[in-house]
């Protein structure tokens, strides 16, 4: 089975959205989420006590979806599970584009009643050939048209990253934490129990979506594994797919047997599948964010050799360790570079083997740019990475250095623009966390990728390198 593009387009680009069952108790979170929609929004709520609150939002309320005077593309349902099937019945009669059930309490409860109620919804939708998102989910987010699933999500500007998540929290977090890290969503979906539309359908859809340059996924399990395998293989050939598999607990006891079946753990198989399809595996939210950031903002590296710049001696040692441990190389620089560095670099308290331990040489944006250019121009270096310590920086700016953070950022921006080589920063905070956040904001504004620890930066680069090399073949 292949997903119907036109029908999926209708779900992801609805012109008319209806919210059923929103209430004051949740501060009308659903209506407030979709008020930004470029299109029409209606409410269906039979409880008269809720009407004034809904009208105060400027939304017209009806007692039944059947009374709404225009075709409905996307319905958000937030009613109790016991009446979900009645709402669904009306939606089917209204011939809506799709129904999303925020409603939970189905198969995920593991109870007989929950499973039965889910089966009822599933059968009704299948029989009516209706597309359903969920249940037990947050549904679609398309910032460009102002369709959100959380009132705090941004809208108006579409991004480049598609996100498919079995969890609503991760979908919301990805959009919000991604945003402050310069990662913007093109389209995303939280699909919960996925009883009609499943991860594979969304993957296939976003795989063919022109606005989506990279795809992130949070998956706990798939329904049709063979189709998922084929689809992932196809999509990952066209654009990067980053997969975070939830529920990785390994039944270690079984692995002790030489019997092949018992060696087969789902984690090992997921890992194999991801590799086989040319997708990228990540194991945490942070790693997901880092790898997506690397894919978007770091030029593709051609090799494993990094030229590093650290601000102090101790950091220059451990930044080397972090990159080497990640499977990258910190080589000696070329003779030309050393000759040039020797002409100006003050080695009192610093050194310039690689990493450059810049210390007092961090005295002007021009000098920083000069040192970056040496690293970037060195034939032994494939990628340039630089530490910015907000603590050390604040000290330098107080004593000895006469420049502002903005001037530093503009020097980095200029290097990023002129250098052929991949470049990123690692912003360590020390005790100056607020400073670090404000520097991060400036870096993000200039599209300069930045990571909060050496390990995270090194790991993101390694994953990007592995991806680049495996897809170059």
Partner 1 sequence: MSVSGVVTDALKEGRTMLTEVEAKELLKESGISIVETRLARTKKEALFISKEMGFPVVLKVVSPDIIHKSDVGGVKLGLKSGVAVSRAYDEIVSSVRQNKPDAKVLGVSVQRMARQGIEVIIGVTKDIQFGPVIMFGLGGILVEVLKDVSFRIIPITGADASQMVRELKAFPLLQGYRGQEPANIPLLEDALLKVSAFIEKHPEVKELDLNPVFAYKNGVLAVDARVVLEEGVSR
Residues engaged in binding partner 1 (CB under 8 A): 221-222, 225-226, 228-229, 255-261, 263-264, 266, 268-269, 271-273, 275-276, 473
Q: Of 184 and 230, which has the nearer Cβ to partner 1? A: 230
Which residues face 101 on adjacent strands? 77
Please report how close the Cβ of residue 40 comes to partner 1 at its closest, in angstroms.
41
Measured from the CB of residue 245, what is the shortest distance to partner 1 in angstroms? 12
Least distance from C-beta 235 to partner 1, angstroms? Answer: 16
* Alpha-carbon separation of residue 201 from 4, 232, 275, 288 (angstroms): 9, 11, 21, 21
Please report where in the chains the tokens 């969890």 appear, as a residue: 167
Q: How far is the CB of 462 from partner 1 (least distance, A)?
A: 16
Cβ nearer to partner 1, comparing 231 with 320: 231
Minimum Å distance from CB 271 to partner 1?
8
Distance of closest approach, residue 429 Cβ to partner 1, in angstroms: 37
CB-nearer residue toward partner 1: 160 or 234: 234
Q: Which of 381, 382, 444 is nearest to 412 (CA)?
A: 444
Q: Which is nearer to partner 1, 262 or 447 (CB)?
A: 262
Least separation, in Å, of the C-beta of 276 and partner 1? Answer: 5
Nearer to partner 1, 116 or 275 (CB): 275
Sort strands 98-101 and 139-141 into parallel, antiparallel or unpaired.
unpaired
Enumerate residues 6+ apart whose C-beta is below 8 A from 32: 57, 151
Q: Which long-range contacts (CB under 8 A, 24 or more apart) does 26-34 make?
A: 26/78, 28/53, 28/54, 28/57, 29/150, 29/151, 30/76, 30/78, 30/102, 31/57, 31/59, 32/57, 32/151, 33/148, 33/149, 33/150, 33/151, 33/153, 34/76, 34/146, 34/147, 34/148
What would the two tokens of residue 295 be? Answer: 């894919």
Q: How far apart are CA 108 and CA 392, in angstroms?
A: 50
**Minimum CB distance to partner 1 smaller for 156 or for 225:** 225
Q: Nearer to partner 1 by C-beta: 184 or 233?
A: 233
């Amino acid at each position: 089975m292949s997903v119907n593009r036109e029908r999926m387009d209708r779900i992801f680009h609805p012109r008319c959205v209806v919210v059923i069952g929103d209430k004051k108790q949740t501060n009308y979170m659903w209506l407030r989420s979709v008020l930004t929609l470029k299109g029409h929004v209606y409410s269906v709520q039979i409880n008269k006590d809720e009407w004034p609150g809904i009208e105060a939002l400027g939304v017209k309320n009806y007692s039944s979806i059947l009374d709404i005077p225009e075709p409905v593309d996307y319905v958000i349902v937030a009613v109790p599970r016991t009446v979900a099937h009645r709402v669904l019945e009306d939606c089917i009669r209204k011939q809506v584009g799709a129904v999303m059930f925020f409603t939970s309490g189905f198969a995920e409860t593991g109870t007989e009643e929950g499973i039965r109620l889910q089966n009822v919804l599933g059968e009704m939708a299948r029989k009516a050939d209706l597309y359903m998102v969920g249940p037990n989910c947050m549904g679609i987010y398309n910032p460009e048209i102002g369709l959100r699933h959380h009132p705090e999500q941004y809208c108006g500007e579409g991004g480049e990253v598609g996100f498919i998540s079995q969890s609503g929290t991760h979908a919301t977090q990805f959009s919000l934490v991604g945003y402050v890290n310069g990662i913007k969503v093109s389209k995303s979906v939280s699909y919960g129990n996925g009883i009609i539309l499943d991860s594979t359908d969304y993957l296939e859809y976003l795989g063919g979506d022109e606005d989506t340059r990279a795809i992130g996924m949070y998956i706990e399990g798939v329904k049709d594994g063979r189709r998922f395998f084929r689809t992932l293989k196809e999509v990952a050939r066209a654009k990067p797919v980053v997969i975070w598999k939830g529920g990785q607990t390994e039944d270690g006891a079984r692995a002790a047997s030489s019997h092949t079946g018992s060696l087969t753990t789902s984690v090992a198989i997921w890992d194999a599948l991801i590799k086989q399809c040319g997708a990228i595996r990540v194991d945490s939210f942070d790693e997901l964010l880092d790898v997506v950031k690397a894919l978007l903002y770091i030029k593709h590296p051609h090799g494993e050799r990094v030229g590093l710049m650290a601000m102090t001696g101790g950091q220059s040692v451990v930044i080397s360790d972090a990159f080497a441990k990640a499977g990258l190389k910190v080589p000696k620089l070329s003779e030309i570079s050393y000759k040039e560095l020797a002409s100006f670099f003050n080695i009192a308290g610093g050194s310039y083997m690689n990493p450059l331990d810049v210390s007092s040489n961090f005295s002007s944006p021009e000098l920083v740019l000069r040192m970056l250019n040496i690293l970037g121009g060195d034939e032994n270096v494939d990628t340039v990475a630089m530490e910015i310590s907000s603590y050390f920086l604040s000290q330098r700016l107080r004593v000895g250095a006469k420049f502002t953070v903005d001037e530093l950022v503009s020097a980095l921006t200029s290097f990023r623009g002129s250098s052929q080589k991949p470049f990123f920063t690692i912003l360590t905070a020390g005790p100056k966390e607020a400073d670090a956040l404000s520097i991060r904001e400036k870096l993000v504004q200039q599209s300069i990728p930045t990571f909060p620890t050496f390990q995270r930066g090194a790991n993101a680069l390694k994953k990007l390198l592995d991806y680049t090399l495996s897809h170059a073949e």
